[in-house]
A and B are shown apart, each in its own frame.
Chain A
């Protein structure tokens, strides 16, 4: 038995619940025989992957769903062995290059050239090209993206590339200009509600509208999260009536506790306390950016209007430092101390300008 997210995932373009215009475009493109390289982008949980798999099915028929997992070994220039998992069917192939870390260029070069230089031999195939789906394309290194450039033009006859990314900011311009961009926006609350209702109908129960609205509000546009929450709630209380408490993940609660600590008192002792809490979060593999954002959101909700802009400013400032720097905890701490000093000065009405 699988999760509802997978079980009730739409399989064809017609079954998709929202963004009808986009689905129609995809459908007509895959029918036209002149299929371009594509780049799907949008926030997570908006349905990028679902759309890609539906498009593939539209292109090649049900054969694409016969997947096999293959392990391939690549040699890095320094003769290190890289083991990469490939998910492939007869017609397409999926890779997640972030598995290869710094050597993603080697994987991209070898794999794509190999596919690009072999022709489809199956005469029964609907299309003459193979499709390569590259997930998390925004984490591709610059080198790997540069390696894609010419390959995408040269071997157009044997291969199409579908990139899937959260944002186009980190893709180099030459790649963007070679793809047809497909923006997949997050569904709004009514659309989420629709989907939840249809999931409930297919699972064989009635979803009270209030519960549905609440889940939709809570999900923040992430459909996957919404469906998962629905399933979890269904397990908790099978009739889904009465007051529903959507359980927040415990790291989020923990982050809120940290925020409360920061506002509660501003002293070196409190910084130490916060620091140990940060370590706890980091050691549970919560990404530092997520920690910073969650804590900052919570702090901002509780302080005076005059301080809000400054707190977000420093959050943004230290977030960049965290990326370029090496040790995350320094920057988290620095931000906490900055916020504390801002807060305290604001409270005692001291002019801060000479401390900047």
Chain B
């Protein structure tokens, strides 16, 4: 519509206007490369095979999708709905509600109920010439359902049963334990597993190719390592990295270190330095030699100084702790007893940070206690 309007504008103006329109839609790649059909969904073979059957038989149970973020839960249900109804019927057959919408008990009683009790409208003629199964029911997608209150979930119970003939519900959540039992038992559950590195790297390579971003193998590995099976995170990092690299003149290639910086990961040598102050042996093969003398001195004051330094650099405490955890747990020479003593400290610190404790105090606390247990 906008392009028509501007096309009739005087020519002097239209050059600037059309330029704006031609600009590629600044969509995040996560949206741009959302799978269009359920066959495109990476990994999750089991879920896909089950859902394939529903496409042919057009019978659908109530569903509950759960799994860690970025594994394709929302993408799957959206793709499925689109394949069932096609673009023309999609609007009046699917109601999508997520945590950014008000979802208190009143909304469940009014909006959801009134949508659920409507008899599905007659199938509109598909404008793109394809035929869609378009089964005689509607789908209500409740995204991020674990942030719904208990009361609101309770109000859903009866609604789900009463209108089961004409409405199917799909609950999408991260933690299945936050869904009350009566709702969970009404749904068939699908668990989404974190993506394995092969399928993530395939998908990332595909996107990089479509966007004309040159990426090397180490970069993809870095993306997968930092994102822990969360494909959305990996794609977002890739996009950010490509923005940064393409905006400089001349464009610089993306390096694994860029990915780490974007992901907010504390650089490895900073963690190693910290560990050295704590008295853990660090196999420094190419580490700077002038740091050697400081290896000897450890105790309260050096640790406090190091923690102050870390805080001033602005690293986040939870990130430091989780990386230090990995470092200690996979350390080749520490014995099991020491490692488990350290693990206890990390667990406590994580809980404390979740409760909103002061970061500096707790990083110091972790440092001191790890030091103590390693030295004992």
- Listed in ascending order, the chain A residues whose CB lies under 8 Å from chain B are 24-25, 28-29, 31-34, 36, 41-43, 46, 77, 109, 112-113, 123, 128, 142-143, 146-151, 153-154, 156-157, 167-170, 173-174, 176-178, 180-181, 183-186, 220-221, 289, 293, 300, 305, 308-309, 312-313, 315-317, 319-320, 323-324
Contact = CB atoms under 8 A, between A and B. Distances in A.
Contacts of B227: 177
Contact of A157 (B25, B99, B232, B369): B25
B126 interface: no
B311 interface: yes
Interface stretch (B83-91, B181-189, B240-248, B279-287): B240-248
A293 B361 contact: yes
A32 B246 contact: yes
Contacts of B23: 33
Contacts of B300: 300, 305, 308-309
A169 B353 contact: yes
Contact of B319 (A25, A143, A168): A168
Contacts of B359: 167, 169
B233 interface: yes
28 contacts: A28-B247, A31-B247, A32-B243, A34-B247, A43-B311, A109-B102, A142-B147, A146-B147, A153-B31, A157-B26, A168-B319, A169-B319, A177-B70, A177-B227, A177-B237, A181-B262, A185-B312, A289-B358, A293-B360, A316-B357, A316-B361, A316-B362, A316-B365, A317-B365, A319-B357, A319-B361, A323-B356, A324-B355
Given A28-B244, A183-B313, A309-B371, 5 more contacts: A28-B247, A32-B243, A150-B144, A169-B359, A319-B361
Given A169-B353, A312-B361, A153 B28 contact: yes
B31 to A, nearest CB: 6
Interface in B297-330: 299-300, 304, 311-319
Interface string B1-43: 0000000000000000100100101111011000000000000
A308 B369 CA distance: 12
B314 A184 contact: yes
Contact of A180 (B98, B230, B262, B360): B262
A218 to B, nearest CB: 14
Given A29-B243, A316-B352, A183 B28 contact: no
A167 B316 contact: yes
B77 to A, nearest CB: 14
Interface string B223-257: 00001001011001101100110111100000000
B248 A42 contact: no
B155 to A, nearest CB: 15
Contact of A168 (B31, B243, B316): B316
A28 B247 CA distance: 5
A31 B244 CA distance: 11
**Nearest 5 Cβ contacts at the A-B interface:** A42-B314, A28-B247, A316-B365, A177-B233, A32-B247
A312 B368 contact: yes
Interface string B323-353: 0000000000000000000000000000011
Interface string B130-161: 00000000000001100100000000000000
B264 A181 contact: yes
Interface in B89-106: 98-102, 104
B358 A319 contact: yes
Given A186-B312, A289-B358, A147 B100 contact: yes
B313 A185 contact: yes
Interface of B: 17, 20, 23, 25-28, 30-31, 69-70, 98-102, 104, 143-144, 147, 227, 230, 232-233, 236-237, 239-240, 243-244, 246-249, 261-264, 299-300, 304, 311-319, 352-353, 355-362, 364-365, 368-369, 371-372
Nearest to B353: A169
Contact of A169 (B31, B233, B317): B317
Chain A at the B interface: mostly helix, strand, loop or mixed? helix
A180 B372 CA distance: 37
B357 A323 contact: yes
B99 A147 contact: yes
Nearest to B28: A156
Contacts of A324: 355
A312 B357 CA distance: 14
Of B243, B304, B314, which is in contact with the most chain A CB atoms at under 10 Å from its CB? Answer: B314
A302 B232 CA distance: 51
Of B143, B230, B361, which is in contact with the most chain A CB atoms at under 10 Å from its CB? Answer: B361
A74 to B, nearest CB: 12
A174 B71 CA distance: 12
Nearest to B361: A316
Nearest to A165: B316
B300 to A, nearest CB: 4
B358 A149 contact: no
Nearest to B242: A34
A150 B244 contact: no
B233 to A, nearest CB: 4
Contacts of A157: 25-27
Given A177-B236, A293-B361, A149 B99 contact: yes
B318 A169 contact: yes
Given A143-B147, A312-B361, A168 B264 contact: yes
A29 B247 contact: yes
Contact of A183 (B247, B249, B314, B352): B314
Contact of B264 (A32, A123, A183, A185): A183
B365 A150 contact: no
Contacts of B368: 309, 312-313
Contacts of A36: 239-240, 243
Contacts of A313: 365, 368-369
Contacts of A221: 312
A174 B73 CA distance: 14
B312 A43 contact: yes
Contacts of A154: 100
A176 B240 CA distance: 13
Contacts of B70: 177
Contact of B99 (A42, A146, A170, A293): A146
B143 A150 contact: yes
B19 to A, nearest CB: 11
Contact of B100 (A148, A167, A184): A148
Nearest to A24: B248
